[in-house]
Chains A and B, each alone.
Chain A
Amino acid sequence: MKTYRISRRNFLGTTAAAGLSSLTFPAIVTGCSSEKGKKEVKVMTFLDQAPDGQELKAGLVGCGGRGTGAAIDFLNAGPKLKIAALGDVLQDRITACREELKKQKGVEVPDEKCFVGFDAIQKVLDSGVDMVILATPPFFRPEHFAAAVEARKHVFMEKPVCVDPVGGRSVIATARKAQGLGLSVATGTQRRHQRDYVANYKNVAEGMIGDIVSANCYWNGGKLWHRDPNPTWSEMEYMIRNWVNWCWLSGDHIVEQHVHNLDVIHWFTGKYPIKATAFGSRLRRVTGDQYDNFSVDYVFDNNMHVHSMCRQINGCVNDVSERMQGTKGSSNCINTIWDSTGKEIWKYEYPAGENGQPGTELKISPYVQEHIDLVTSIRNGKPINEAENTAMSTLVAIMGRISAYTGKLVTLDEVMNSEMKLGPKVFAFGPVDVPKEVPLPGEAYVPNA
């Protein structure tokens, strides 16, 4: 009976140069076996709060809904944490964020530390912060991440971390630079900081379901939000306000939203696919230029196939989850493991509810936990670096997108070496010179005259 083993090489994927390792977080492989053939996998122990230490000042770049949420999560992560600066391209987002911070956390960010415009990132970095929280539309992430590392700041950045291959490579290189500089980088793939996921992962890694033979992941949900065009807005302002519906800003929903689940596949299997064949289309979306459903067959180098699907259409059955199929059983990745007959053999024990009934959720929200873990790593001098993993998961999502848009088989090599870069050349509040047609795969039927 073969025990499931994660070799370090599998785990780290393509990085291989001597001395250059990007530690995957939070699992660390140990070589010791306790019983005959059974490997013990060490995972991180989670703290409920970050330890005390020197005051950490964070600057928030991208003050929308998620950014404001991330700032509040950060403040809730431990003692002596401050939001010291805000940056955004739009003034009203900054105003709304300041009000929310004041209301929820009693925090006041002074006027002179609020910066508006495309160059806000640089001003935030120069304003005397120790770290930055990057929560802009994903298009801007690679250049913001590079600027933050150049300025020697620790980083929390939201997923996805890029929208195109050029951005992806930039993030990978910046991540390695950050490692060389001893900076700590956490990304918004919060499942990796969820205690139930991590406990489940540990069991799978130690062989509870045997070898993984296939997997599925889903983000089938309803329509997300949108913003209608407004005559007082320039095209750039409209697109940024409606960013989640424009491919050049969000990467399309397979990248923007579904990357969470693809990252779990990457995490649990220790690999990422070498090629993809995908379908996709635009059935109900009426704004922007994106699709609203994707289905991808990802193939791995050991001939394993993983199916991924995602949807953003109202009124359909919904499912946001992942599952692993192993030789000895299966798992839903979050809290349950079954054997091959379908019998439940493990379930995560959630903390008990108020009246002592069995709990159904974690005490500490993973959105706060990810900040606790980042601050802990900064304060105890053991930097973490999640950026490269998230970049690879994002590139895998991009590979699926390109396959769906073109109707062709796409390999990860092609994506890794592609010069494709989305977005306009000029950043100003005016017209935006990008293609806006919805892509159509294949060829139209042309009848003979």
Chain B
Amino acid sequence: MKRIWLWFLPGVLVGFLIIGSGSVLIRRTSSNEYCASCHKIHPQATVSWKKSGHYITKSGYRTNCVDCHLPPHGQGYLAAKIKTGSRDLWSKWTKDTAKFDWEEKARLENARKYVYEASCLACHENLFPAALSKAGEDAHIYYTSKNKPPDLQCINCHLDAGHYIEGYVHTGNINFGKTSLSNLPSFSSAAAVEHFGSFTEQIPGSTVSFSMIAIPGGTFKLGSPDNEPFRNDDEGPQREVRLDSFYMARVETTWDEYLAFYAQTSAEGRSTDTEGLRVSAKTTDAITGATPPYGQPDQGWGKGQRPAISISFHAAETYCRWLSSITGKHYRLPTEAEWEFACRGGTTTPYFFGGDPRQYERSGIRARISHNDTSLINTYVVYNENSRGKTQEPPFVTPNPFGLKNMSGNVAEFCSDWYQSDAYSRYPAGLMINPRGPETGVERVVRGGSYRDAAGKVRSAAREFTRTEAWLRTDPQMPKSIWWYSDCFHVGFRVVCDFDETTGNSRKKKNIE
């Protein structure tokens, strides 16, 4: 009998040792110091944590890294710990941590991947503490209601709970766009255009002016050949297109320009900001403008000459209508054909500056092996290799052969066409003249790629489209805003002006709708 015990006992002892050391290991690797031992490559994480409301507390209690960045014990803690730990180790050994875009990782769409709602609720059991403000009451009633969107979680509004964010605003930003009066005199009238040529437009009642480049009409091939690297099927078949002359803005609509519109037409409160009013908004005579945005539409990158972002397609269209009404010209969004014509600048290569798209890639194993030289593309395009995760101002790049800047890259740009993947093949055979896109659709065309895209997506022929539902996903307002996208910071627009009797075309009398 004793023999059996002798065999049994060592097993029990070993078992205890494994369990004991296992739990010590788990605890040791979950301490704040352990996290910081790797994340010292990003000391901002610790610094911002120590400035946050989860560290500086009235009670003196301090929330630890794993309290938020792992689910609660018993709700997948170990599995998440293994997964996150493995991913961190892999990154440490294989990636160049100096090139991480920490700001991008801190944004909501990334943060939701490693902050667990169950962890918030594990501590914050009572969502209606006695000191809750009225705004908090309304927000938490919405959060606990049946109608809340499925991916609305705590950090949608409370993104700065664990890590301090400078200037973070998660309420209706009613002071947005209220800049101090400039010392420059305001323009009293728009520019007068007597003949076809580039001009500087002036926004009456503001100090804002911007360049419009004259683009002579012509013929070009829309789309890309089958063998172009990174090509998608929606870029074909290539079609011959002829376009009339038009004017195009030299740069993407800047915050200065957009805020002139916003200041002159904005409406407080939400009277114009409902989905249901979308239809009637088109037929009103007076142009009611945007309501205050939620949070920081400029993402804290600054405004001024930077392109306006977070604005919806509807807002861009309304801006054009407003600009037309106060200048007496006919401003609108470019058609997709006009956009590609202007972007190519008379070239037929993937980029107007030539080169193979594959040589402009820097990420990925293949790129590292081939030591690509991106100095050429860097002079013309703001894209993921040189943007440092944000939009850039016009002086950053050189213009294209037509004199336009940032057609490719910086922000992607709205076009007036409805998007359809087979749009090019739907036109009647032969030369396409001033095509305006499909009759109907669900989403609109977006062109040019942005600061966060890789080389393949900033080719002249690359096509994209709006993702309205996804770009409004975390909009906490009900109904959702029609003026601002809550989850889209890479799309803007530039304006086109018709060449007609208001801009020096004495010959033609065009009908504008």
Contacts and interface: CB of A to CB of B under 8 A. Distances in A.
Contact of A17 (B127, B132, B138, B270): B127
B199 interface: no
Interface in B127-164: 127-130, 132, 134, 137-138, 140-147
A189 B403 CA distance: 74
A413 B141 contact: no
A285 interface: no
A180 interface: yes
A352 interface: no
Contact of A14 (B125, B132, B146, B270): B146
Contacts of B142: 417
B130 A150 contact: yes
Interface string B351-394: 00000000000000000000000000000000000000000000
A367 B134 CA distance: 33
Interface string A410-445: 000100110100000000000000000000000000
B146 A16 contact: yes
A173 B130 contact: no
Given A14-B146, A419-B269, A413 B478 contact: yes
Interface string A2-39: 00000000000011111110000000000000000000
A280 to B, nearest CB: 23
Given A14-B145, A173-B140, A173-B141, A181 B269 contact: no
A333 B15 CA distance: 65
Contact of A19 (B121, B478, B479): B121
B126 interface: yes
Contacts of A413: 147, 478
A16 B142 CA distance: 11
A179 interface: yes
Nearest to B133: A173
A427 to B, nearest CB: 18
B144 A15 contact: yes
Contacts of B134: 170
A14 B147 CA distance: 9
A153 B394 CA distance: 62
Contact of B144 (A17, A179, A180): A17
A149 interface: yes
Contacts of A20: 126-128, 144
A17 B143 contact: yes
Contacts of B140: 173, 176
Contact of B128 (A18, A173, A417): A173
A413 B43 CA distance: 45
Contact of A180 (B130, B141, B143, B147): B130
Contacts of A174: 137
Interface residues of A, number: 23
Nearest to B147: A413
A177 interface: yes
A170 B121 contact: no
Contact of B138 (A14, A149, A169, A181): A169
Contact of A173 (B132, B269, B479): B132
A142 to B, nearest CB: 10
Interface in A62-84: none
Nearest to B129: A180
B167 to A, nearest CB: 27
A72 to B, nearest CB: 31
A407 to B, nearest CB: 16
Contacts of A169: 137-138, 141
A172 interface: yes
Contacts of A176: 127-128, 140
A390 to B, nearest CB: 16
B131 to A, nearest CB: 9
Contact of B129 (A18, A177, A417): A177
A15 B142 CA distance: 10
A179 B128 contact: yes
Interface in A157-204: 169-170, 172-174, 176-177, 179-181
B136 to A, nearest CB: 8
Contacts of B143: 17
B143 to A, nearest CB: 7
A22 to B, nearest CB: 11
Interface in B373-430: none
Contacts of A16: 144-146
A116 to B, nearest CB: 28
Contact of B145 (A150, A177, A416): A416
Task: Point out which of A170, A179, A417, A419 has the most chain B C-beta atoms below 10 A from its C-beta.
Answer: A417
Contacts of B479: 417
Contacts of A14: 144-147
A174 B132 CA distance: 9
A19 B147 CA distance: 18
Contacts of A419: 269-270
Contacts of B127: 17, 20, 176
Contacts of B138: 169, 173
A417 B147 CA distance: 11
A167 B390 CA distance: 43
A20 to B, nearest CB: 6
A149 B131 CA distance: 10
Contacts of B130: 149-150, 177, 180-181
Nearest to A172: B141
Contacts of B126: 19-20, 180
A173 B126 CA distance: 12
Interface in B157-180: none
A92 to B, nearest CB: 34
Contacts of A149: 130
B132 A177 contact: yes
A419 B138 CA distance: 10
Contacts of B125: 19
A99 B128 CA distance: 41
Interface in B85-108: none
Nearest to B130: A177
A274 to B, nearest CB: 10
A262 to B, nearest CB: 20
A17 B127 CA distance: 9
B149 to A, nearest CB: 13
A19 B124 CA distance: 10
A181 B141 CA distance: 18
Nearest to A150: B130
A177 B143 CA distance: 15
Interface string B470-483: 00000000110000
B128 A180 contact: yes
A176 B139 CA distance: 13
B128 A177 contact: yes
A347 to B, nearest CB: 38
A32 to B, nearest CB: 28
A445 to B, nearest CB: 23
Nearest to A412: B147
A14 B145 CA distance: 5
Contacts of B137: 169-170, 172-174
Contacts of A181: 130
Contacts of A179: 128
A77 to B, nearest CB: 27
Contacts of A19: 121, 125-126
A179 B142 CA distance: 18
B123 to A, nearest CB: 12
A310 to B, nearest CB: 28
Contacts of A173: 128, 132, 137-138, 140-141
Contacts of B478: 413, 417
A218 B58 CA distance: 53
6 contacts: A19-B121, A169-B141, A170-B137, A173-B132, A173-B141, A176-B128
Give the 3 A-B residue pairs with the shortest CB-CB distance, closest first: A173-B137, A176-B128, A17-B144
Given A173-B137, A417-B479, 15 more contacts: A14-B145, A15-B144, A15-B145, A16-B146, A17-B121, A19-B121, A19-B126, A20-B128, A169-B141, A170-B137, A172-B137, A173-B140, A176-B127, A181-B130, A419-B269
